[in-house]
Amino acid sequence: MPPTRKPDQTAPAPVSPTGVEMPLPDGAPDPRAQAGDVLTSPQGVRIPDTDHSLKAGPRGPVLLEDFHLREKISHFDHERIPERVVHARGAGAHGTFTSYGTAGNITRAAVLAEKGLETPVFVRFSTVLGSRGSADTVRDTRGFAVKFYTKEGNWDLVGNNIPVFFIQDAIKFPDIIHAGKPSPTREIPQAQSAHDGFWDFVSLHTEATHHTLWNMSDRGIPRSYRTMEGFGVHTFRLVNADRETTLVKFHWKPVLGVHSLTWEEAQIAAGVDPDFHRRDLADAIEAGAFPEWELGVQIFPDTEEETYEGIDLLDPTKIVPEEMVPVQPIGKLVLNANPQNYFAETEQIAFCTGHVVPGIEFTNDPLLQGRNFSYLDTQLTRLGGPNWPQIPINRPHVAVNDNHRDGFMQQGVPVGEAPYLPNSIDDGSPQPADFEHGGYVNVPRQVEGEVARGVPSSFDDHFSQPAMFYASLSDVEKTHTIEAYTFELGKVYEQEIKERTLGILAKIDSDLCEKVAAGLGLPVPDGKPVEHLPPSPALAQVKPDSFPIAGRQVGVVAGPDADLAGIAALRSALEDEGAQVKVIAPHGGTLGKGKNQQVVERTVVTARSIEFDAVVVADGAPKDSDIKSVVLLQEAYRQLKPFAAWGDGAEVLTSAGIDVDGPGVLTGKTADSLAKDLVAALGRHRVWEREELVTASAVPPAS
């Protein structure tokens, strides 16, 4: 029997601490629940529009006088104590950012402009919806937040692994998160969007379509934080030394390439290793396989219209394809140290989009303007008061003299008699800094327009960019996206929500809509796809390119009689490329003696396919059909991972039902003969030519 969707809202009368019913005074509102059918403020003022911030003109800045925006977001910011409302589940690392100096013509920010300048950073990766105790590998957006401890103060680039957002205006952020969070009645499902609330909102709020499609693609389940792209999402304004302005979008490009989990891997990992991503990050850094990204920018002229080739640069649900405006690299990020204490560093670090340095300014993107308020406001509850910047992980690496005093969690001992300006008692200290002395002086810009809640007409196109994104995917990625929609909507209870979503998919791609409808057992709705820009190859993850394999994990199945010298040679060849080898054997301890002795890192009981990027079977490995070994091999084969075997190790694959002549299976007489080809196969991430084979039929059972 399906769960009740509309539970009885009638509650028992209030009771006193002694259990006696307390009747309400005549005419008094019931304090136990919200009442009435009209949307109001917390003070009971009726609200006409909760979708658009109050702005100076449809493209103008958001006004501080918008009490509804401030009340709505402020209440939302303080809904969870003490973990973050969103991005509660995270992992972090220390590192450095080195500027290439190539951005000196567009910004005076030293962190980007000075060639060779190294800036300390702390990066926090996270999921959005789940609690601190949720799994790493859920289908969700990932946060990619970087705190630069620059010589001009702290700069926070608070981005995601998806370049667009669900909403165009920050006033709707509480709505999308409320819709995505677990049901308020049952507190389920945790860290998932596969439920009625989420799909009800996004199918009614079609500006979410682009972001939702990215989430349903393989981008929603990254293989590792190390193979995850990052985006600043918004358009920012950069200012150079001559006070000339440029608009930019920020991109983080992983040196290891962009790579995702399969849905099967994500589900297995959530059960057997919910810490999969944070473990992967920490292990790679500990092993010296330091994760690296290049920071790049797309550069646009700062015109009055703030558009580019018809694409509104203030709309956070839109991208500019890289084929139209290439990403220009301006620096490199390297993560080289793990936190010493999770709570003190990863948990207490606080990011704010409003933390910028001279040379970096904001645009009128209504989502960015709301985030500038929200991120600062949320720290007041989460970190205990206004002095959270004094927590060590949040402290700037430059002198601070802000005239702030007292407050909860004050950790400093301020000195001086005059915490105000101007003053003569303290000799006028601290002195304001002008533009020539590194002060944060905004570039003047004209602002005008009628004060009203609204949105520019250029924000109204909700479908052409999602259609372009889907058209840009490889066939493999399209298949995975169809499967994701089918799974997610299959968990939705209300038929109307499924039908409404199919109507949206019909505007994106006919094949996508038809196949999802078939999976749900529903008719295909009327409608045809909208016109869109040409496909953007940069958006597809599946490419013929080969990437470095630093930090990749290779499982080698062995046993007491295996060719240990061959394993040693293979280990040496892979470790020279930065990969790691883990020997899998029937028991723990060691195999053999002498210089070729091998430590057993995993047993057949503790090993699972998700941990490895490739699987190798050594000559002389046990040939008996241990069911756990067979499951390991068959899972890895379904997950399109490269295989290798030398000598009679090929017989182990055959006994597991794996065709040694099939795609992505390397065989040879010695381990040495396989190393080079295995490195190349690892660099391509997966054996994509096997996808059709494993989709058509499961791996045959072991003979």
What distance lies between CA 227 and its chain's CA centroid? 11
Encoded tokens for 143: 């946060």
630: left (phi over 0), alpha (psi -120 to 50) or beta: alpha
Q: Are residues 496 and 631 in the same domain?
A: no
Query: Closest Cα to residue 616, out of 546, 690, 689, 667?
Result: 667
- Report, as an integer, the average pLDDT of 669-698: 87
pLDDT digits (tens, 9 = 90+) for 40-69: 777 666 788 888 998 899 999 998 878 788
Task: Verify that 153 and 292 share a domain, yes or no.
Answer: yes
Q: Does residue 367 carry a pLDDT above 50?
A: yes
CA distances to 68, 596, 606, 703 from 586, rounded to whole Å, are 63, 18, 10, 20
355 is catalytic: no
Average of per-residue pLDDT across 601-619: 94
Same domain, 74 and 189: yes
User: Quick one: average pLDDT of 9-17?
Assistant: 44
User: Collapsing DSSP states into helix, strand and coil, what is residue 618?
Assistant: coil
Q: Are residues 271 and 352 in the same domain?
A: yes
Give the CATH number, domain containing residue 521: 1.20.1370.20
Characterize the bridge pairing of strands 590-591 and 142-150.
Answer: unpaired
The single residue of 52, 87, 277, 532 carrying the catalytic annotation is: 87
Question: Is 251 domain-assigned?
Answer: yes
Rounded CA separation 373/113 (Å): 28
Last residue of a domain, one of 539, 562, 597: 539
- At residue 473, the pLDDT reads 97
- In angstroms, rounded to a whole number, what is the distance separating the alpha carbons of residues 126 and 96? 20
Average pLDDT score over residue span 251-271: 96
Q: Let me know whether 363 and 262 are in one domain.
A: yes
Q: CB pairs under 8 A, 24+ apart, for 107-110?
A: 107/238, 107/239, 107/240, 107/246, 107/359, 107/360, 108/239, 108/240, 108/241, 108/358, 108/359, 109/150, 109/152, 109/155, 109/238, 109/357, 109/358, 109/359, 109/360, 110/150, 110/151, 110/152, 110/357, 110/359
CB 264 within 8 A of CB 635: yes
pLDDT (tens digit, 9 = 90+) per residue, 442-465? Answer: 899 888 899 999 999 999 999 999
| pLDDT at site 433 | 85
Going through 319-415 in order, the beta strands assigned E by DSSP cover 328-337, 360-361
Same domain, 533 and 559: no
Task: Find out whether 479 and 695 touch, Cβ atoms under 8 Å.
Answer: yes
Amino acid code (one letter) for 490? G
Which of 495, 516, 539 finishes a domain? 539
CATH number of the CATH domain containing 142:
2.40.180.10
Each residue of 512-554: pLDDT tens digit?
999 999 999 999 999 899 999 999 999 999 988 899 999 999 9
Task: Say if 225 falls within a structural domain.
Answer: yes
615, β-bridge pairs = 555, 643
The pLDDT assigned to 26 comes to 59
1 assigned to some structural domain: no
498 shares its domain with 531:
yes
Same domain, 142 and 278: yes
- Rg, Å, the chain Cα set: 28
Name the domain boundary from 510, 539, 568.
539
Mean pLDDT over 13-20 rounds to 43
Q: What pLDDT was estimated at residue 144? A: 98
Same domain, 630 and 491: no
Which tokens belong to 331?
């620096």
Q: Work out the burial of residue 32: count CB atoms within 10 Å of its CB; fewer than 13 is exposed, 13-18 middle, 19 or more buried.
A: exposed
Tens-place pLDDT, residues 100-144: 999 999 999 999 999 999 999 999 999 999 999 999 999 999 999
Residue 407 lies in a domain: no
The phi, psi pair for 454, rounded to 5°, reads: -175, -175
Q: Give the pLDDT confidence score for residue 142 in this predicted structure.
A: 98
Does residue 156 carry a pLDDT above 60?
Answer: yes
Catalytic residue among 160, 161, 215, 338: 160
Tokens 């193979």, residue located: 227
- pLDDT for position 678: 96
Q: By residue range, what is the domain housing residue 70? A: 55-394
- Measured in whole angstroms, how far is the alpha carbon of residue 464 from the centre of its chain? 23
Domain for residue 10, yes or no? Answer: no
Based on the fold, state whether residues 584 and 646 are members of the same structural domain.
Answer: yes
Is residue 87 among the annotated active site residues? yes
pLDDT tens digit sequence for 306-324: 999 999 999 999 999 999 9
Task: Tell whether 174 is covered by a domain.
Answer: yes
Q: Is the pLDDT of residue 197 over 70?
A: yes
Domain annotation covers residue 40: no
Q: Number of folded domains in the chain?
A: 3
Same domain, 584 and 532: no
Q: What is the pLDDT of residue 18?
A: 40
User: Same domain for 117 and 220?
Assistant: yes
Q: Are 635 and 611 in contact (CB under 8 A)?
A: no
| CATH at 604 | 3.40.50.880
- State phi, psi for 449 to the nearest 5 degrees: 145, 165
For residue range 483-507, list pLDDT tens digits in order: 999 999 999 999 999 999 999 999 9
Domain contains 39: no
Residue 255 makes CB contacts below 8 A (sequence gap 6+) with 291, 292, 293, 294, 547, 548
